[in-house]
Amino acid sequence: MMPRLVFVVYRQMGKKSKSKQRALSKSFVLDQLSVERSKRRLLLDALRPNEERDLAFRRMILSIPPGRVSTYGGVAAAAGYPRYHRAVARLLRTDPVDQLPWHRVVGAGGEIRLRGAGAHEQRARLKLEGVRFNRKRVDMEHFEHSIKPWEVYE
């Protein structure tokens, strides 16, 4: 994949000198490397507990009303931590079951991301609250709750 991207850069440059082409390709590779490193740092940070961040996630999850759902990414973004959807999943996985309405948080597009008995329980809890499904996914058009952080009270 990387050589194809470098080829596109060469092609756009036209007939410039080989040394300029090499310098540009090196900087392009270094930029890609820094992007990958920052992604890795973000993922590792999301796996670590952070009380301030987890408290913000808890407040957003508690604001989802019965009969409505939100996504992991929606909760993270509303809490002020976009791209931390994995941290929301970690929080729901590690917190005691009876503390948060964990069943109201689903994957992108309304997909239940749990496996096995957990998926069946989440689906049953959502059905008890009146949430309807389109095959295996929640009908997000009617049941998605867009969290507005300014409406969440402490």
Q: Kindly report, residue by residue over 54-113, the tens digit of the pLDDT.
A: 999 999 999 999 999 999 999 999 999 988 999 999 999 999 988 999 999 999 999 999
What's the rounded Cα separation, in Å, for the pair 127 and 17?
65
What's the whole-model pTM score? 0.72
Q: How remote is the C-alpha of 99 from its chain's centroid?
A: 22
- For 14: left if phi > 0, alpha if psi spans -120 to 50, otherwise beta; the answer is left
Strand partners, 133: 138
Q: What is the pLDDT of residue 85?
A: 92
Average pLDDT, rounded, for the chain: 83
pLDDT-derived band at 142 (thresholds 50, 70, 90) equals very high
Q: Could you tell me which residue, 153 or 51, shows the higher pLDDT? A: 51
Structure-token pair, residue 43: 């993922």
pLDDT-derived band at 30 (thresholds 50, 70, 90) equals low
Q: What is the pLDDT of residue 20?
A: 59
Indicate whether 8 pLDDT > 50: no
For residues 105-144, one letter each, b for 16 or more C-beta atoms within 10 angstroms of the residue's C-beta and e for the rest, the string is bbbeebebebeeeeeeebbeebeeeebeeeeeebebeebb
Q: What is the pLDDT of residue 5?
A: 43
Indicate whether 1 pLDDT > 60: no
Q: How many CB atoms lie within 10 A of CB 74?
A: 22
Q: Which amino acid is at 146?
A: S
Q: Ranked by mean pLDDT, which of 30-39, 44-53, 114-123 comes out on top?
A: 114-123
Please say whether the beta carbons of 60 and 147 come within 8 A: yes
**Could you read off the pLDDT of 10-24 as tens digits, one per residue?**
455 555 566 656 655
